[in-house]
Amino acid sequence: MRLILLGPPGAGKGTQAQRIVEKHGIPQLSTGDMLRAAVSAGTEVGKRAKAVMDAGNLVSDEIVNAIVSERIDQPDCARGFILDGYPRTLVQADSVDVMLSAKGMKLDVVIEMQVDDAVLVQRVSGRYTCATCGAGYHDKNHRPKVDGTCDKCGGHEFKRRPDDNAETMTTRLQDYYKKTSPLIGYYHGKGLLKPVDGMAPIDEVTAAIETILSRV
Ligand code: ADP
Ligand code: ZN
């Protein structure tokens, strides 16, 4: 199964992707995570990407497409994968088409997570992840069962993304509506788009997504 999770920052893509990974055993390909890994590793791509990302802007299509194409060739992607936070532009969406058909693959479904702007800002400002395993949490909406201890790995260190604040959210949301939201029409036109109410509680969103996935 090959699917895209589409939606603005804070819509819940990462949260739901983790659950799909656990249930279906296919990897989550988050370009944000792949890029941040390249930045920490200090690779050439990472250095180019760092300055752009810190300002809350989008990394070039060329860099991102190359990272994703290499990743899809890894053996764990043979049964499928979840694209989370990519494609973000129509140019990238076209690249995905070209890339997948060159590999003899096709997309099964695009899930669009719909959430109001005010809620997005509140979600992004409160989110943090486990520094060890990457599990996502939120100050109000999704706290670990035991305060300060990761549910998944028992880790005690957590981190916040430097671009997760109300100021860069304005830029990131404008970017989303200008550059990414046209993908909604693009995938609707291909008959692949399935909207989901991302305002619902996390478990309800998961259930709605499972219903969609059971039909593809
Ligand atoms: P994205 O990957 O789309 O940017 P995340 O999955 O990181 O979004 O979610 C953003 C924040 O909102 C996280 O802290 C997460 O715990 C919280 N969150 C995700 N889905 C929901 C939901 N349905 N209801 C309330 N909070 C949510
Ligand atoms: Zn953890």
Which ligand is in closest contact with the Cα of 5? 1
Q: Please confirm, yes or no, whether 172 is among the known catalytic residues.
A: yes
pLDDT in tens, 97-107: 999 999 999 99
Tell whether the model's pLDDT for residue 196 goes beyond 90.
yes
Q: Please confirm, yes or no, whether 13 is among the known catalytic residues.
A: yes
pLDDT in tens, 29-71: 988 888 888 888 888 878 888 888 888 887 888 888 888 888 8
Mean pLDDT, rounded, for 194-210? 97
For every residue of the chain, which 3-state class applies, written as one string? CEEEEECCCCCCHHHHHHHHHHHHCCCEEEHHHHHHHHHHHCCHHHHHHHHHHHCCCCCCHHHHHHHHHHHHCCHHHCCCEEEECCCCCHHHHHHHHHHHHHCCCCCCEEEEEECCHHHHHHHHHCEEEECCCCCEEECCCECCCECCECCCCCCCCEECCCCCCHHHHHHHHHHHHHHHCHHHHHHHHCCCEEEEECCCCHHHHHHHHHHHHHHC
Mean pLDDT, rounded, for 174-182? 96
Quote the ligand 1 centre to 84 CA distance (angstroms).
13
Ligand 1 atom 11: residue of nearest CA = 123
Ligand 1 atom 10: residue of nearest CA = 10
Quote the ligand 1 centre to 44 CA distance (angstroms).
31
Quote the ligand 1 centre to 123 CA distance (angstroms).
6
pLDDT band at 81 (very low <50, low <70, confident <90, very high): very high
